[in-house]
Amino acid sequence: MVREYNLDKIREKLIDALGPSKTGLTGVEIAEKLRINRVTMSKYLKIFAGEGLIKQTNMGSVNVWFIEEGVDKLSFPADFFQVQNKYLDYVLSGLTREAHTLIRTALHSGASPTKIVSEVIIPTIEAVENSYNGGKMGRSEKNFLDEIISTSISLIGLLEEEVHPKKNAVILATDYQNALLAQAASAALRTDKWRVSLLGDMSSAIDVMFDIDLQRFLNKIWPKRDGIMIIIIFSSKEGEIKFFSQAVDTSTEKFGKNLHLALCTKITKKAKTGVDFVSGDVEALLQWCQTVFESHQNQ
């Protein structure tokens, strides 16, 4: 009976059943192999097809199911290194479908979304950036590969759970190069129940009125000052770091001690304004956010 299994168990058994088959299986055959009611199995097949795990092909009057190309049965955390290498190869080769299927498979296999971001997505972002900076690819190719990564991050974002009303964050990038990193961090935080406002590339917002604009925005999304608010800035340029940090510092005077500022940057020079956390390590940033929240809860 279907109630004997949770969704992950059914998914695992489905991969075991379809994986070795070169000719695919009908819905009836799958139901029999998994010992699940045919009507119930039909509903699950639609769910897994929507996730990109399986695909359906019409063979005359019969519908046959196949496992999507690139889907493997993975075990975590042992397979993170394997996924990291495969994903990087797929992205650098421009294999959009394979890259996205691998991320779906990792998620279906129980991989931590935060670990996927920190150990798979971010190293790939950095590899693409390094290849571009080293003259190994042009802007057109980089934009194409960035889009593959961006969609992969969106797949992770689809897992977001109901937000915790006291976990609030605003994330921005000061330039185009850091926008993908900001998006990746946003997806990871959302899967941990953070209410995230992702502002993307804010390089066009550098003007004397930005501090007022930011305060208006904070008033709108955090009107009751419930819990904490962490503003996270992704940047690789000292001037932009200084500008946006000063704008947040001005806002801190109005919004109080529960407003925190974090910088995700590889620039080691200490910022002049009040910064609570500085690191180029996204995983360390995510851990710090959780620590700040827990400290606030214990007050």
| pLDDT of 205 above 70 | yes
| pLDDT of 234 above 90 | yes
d(CA 85, CA 286): 23
Render pLDDT for 79-107 as a digit per residue (tens, 0 to 9): 778 888 989 999 999 999 889 888 888 88
The bridge status of strand 54-59 relative to strand 277-279 is: unpaired
More confident site: 83 or 74: 83
Q: What is the pTM of this model?
A: 0.77
Render pLDDT for 240-291 as a digit per residue (tens, 0 to 9): 999 999 999 888 878 988 999 999 998 866 555 679 999 999 989 999 999 9
d(CA 284, CA 112): 15
- In Å, the largest CA–CA distance within the chain is 71
Quote the pLDDT of residue 1. Answer: 39
